[in-house]
Amino acid sequence: MLTTAPRGTKDILPVNSSHWQYVEQVAREVCRTFAYDEIRTPIFEHTELFLRGIGETTDIVEKEMYTFMDRGKRSITLRPENTAAVVRSYLENKLYADSVPNKLYYIGPMFRYDRPQAGRLRQFHQFGIEAIGSAGPLIDAEIITLAVEFFHKLGLTDLTLYINSVGCPKCRPVYREKLQAFLKDKVSELCPDCQSRYDRNPMRILDCKNEKCAALTVGAPEVSECLCPECHDHFEGLKQLLSAAGISYLLNSRLVRGLDYYTKTAFEIQYPPLGAQSAVCGGGRYDGLIAECGGSMTPGIGLAIGLERVLLALEKQDLLPTAQEKLDVYVVAQNEAAIEEAFHLALQFRNRGLATDLDTMQRSLKAQMKQANKRHAKFVALLGAEEIQNAKVTMKNMKSSEQQLVDLANAAQFIEAEMED
């Protein structure tokens, strides 16, 4: 239907856009203080990037991508996440020639064909961080600290940080064998997705949301039992750094995240009042992703924060900012002869940086004043035949209702002076 947005999408109306701007402003300010620079990648990429980058055994690739053939017979996919795209840009634009590590952030829409529900849309928005080039746990701790600071700046409470280590290519095969041995006699009882994961990527079975699969994996061996010395030391270093920063966390051995590229550190921040969609932030280390996408072996770590879920959490805690007065002055033409002068006066105000509107519908004086009230204008500039004849303008303070006749040439300075008091 032409009058209905596609299922799983949502308009951000003017009444709500200020909330989005507020959250994005906080995100940008936190990134500035942590010395992260913004990167903007295309909304669509070659499909192969996500097949190789995300992993063909993931739900995203198997079920959720918006993929189509363009007119050049190329397979194109709307980005379902942004880490792979950032890595592609890092390689294509030779960002590795700049200072190391590359510390980047992004804010923008992602697309997944999923069952729409509160906090989960088919077009959704993420604030994400990527740090490429540093291998030690210090950058892991910095990334997690940045996320915690972002939520702190917003005033959110009741958040829980979960961390885990998912190992590396050296120690993960050992864990894979142990997990497969544990699940061997249970495979036929698993859901169809997990049955296919048993051979391809059995760790993903631990991430299944099917209640029966969750019950069948109770008592499964933990990856922490199989970590190599390097992964063990890395994880211990991360825990020490988080404790030193005063950041509380819980260990979650079942936290493996939903993407194949994670190595070593995996983490998630949850806001339980959101229910099933309680994860507001997730991320981890991806030391093999750059090589998988055609570069050299380069360490990296990132996170993504779902902005829709953050806004839901802010609403639940009554932390969304109240609407501010947006209009400094509304210019009113009391008759047709005053329209041209009203237009010039509005331009004068705008050139001085004052938020200004004026009537473009040739409405009555009463209707224009009603509109000024509706727009929460701080001042109204009234122009009639007498004002124009004397090069004056009647300035009305909408809060005090006081009116004053001032020179047209000084109208902007008058408002500026009044606003400073």
SS3 content of the chain, % helix, strand, coil (to 5): 45, 20, 35
Q: Which pLDDT tens digit goes with each residue over 35-91?
A: 999 999 999 999 999 998 887 767 788 889 999 999 999 999 999 999 999 999 999
Q: What is the three-state SS of 36-104? A: CEECCCCCEEEHHHHHHHHCCCCHHHHHHCCEEECCCCCEEEECCCCHHHHHHHHHHCCHHHCCCCEEE
DSSP string across 224-271: GGG--HHHHHHHHHHHHHHHHTT---EE-TT---S-TT-EEEEEEEE-
Distance between CA atoms of 139 and 145, rounded to whole angstroms?
A: 10
pLDDT score, position 391: 94
- Token pair recorded at residue 35: 């010395």
300-315 in b/e form (b: 16+ CB < 10 A) is bbbbbbbbbbbbbbbe
Distance between CA atoms of 374 and 279, rounded to whole angstroms?
A: 39
The residue to which tokens 């924060």 are assigned: 305
* Long-range Cβ contacts of 60-66 (<8 Å, 24+ apart): 60/112, 60/258, 60/259, 63/113, 64/112, 64/113, 64/114, 65/112, 65/113, 66/111, 66/112, 66/113
pLDDT score, position 277: 79
Residue partners of 23: CB distance under 8 A and separation at least 6: 127, 154, 307, 310, 311, 314
pLDDT score, position 227: 95
pLDDT score, position 147: 98
pLDDT score, position 279: 92
Distance between CA atoms of 297 and 291, rounded to whole angstroms?
A: 5
Residue 293 near residue 46 (C-beta atoms within 8 A)? no
Residue 71 near residue 59 (C-beta atoms within 8 A)? no
pLDDT score, position 57: 65
Closest to 247 in 3D by CA, of 141, 323, 319:
141
User: Side-chain half-sphere of 132: how many Cα atoms within 13 Å?
Assistant: 27
pLDDT score, position 259: 63
pLDDT score, position 55: 75
pLDDT < 50 stretches in the chain: none
Q: Which pLDDT tens digit goes with each residue over 312-351?
A: 999 999 999 886 667 999 999 999 999 999 999 999 999 9
* Reported pTM: 0.90
pLDDT score, position 62: 80
Number of H helices, E strands in the chain: 15, 16
Domains of the chain: 14-171+227-316 (3.30.930.10), 329-416 (3.40.50.800)
What are residue 40's phi and psi, to 5 degrees? -125, 115
Q: Which amino acid, residue 305?
A: I
pLDDT score, position 260: 65
pLDDT score, position 54: 81
Distance between CA atoms of 185 and 188, rounded to whole angstroms?
A: 8
- Token pair recorded at residue 183: 């699940």
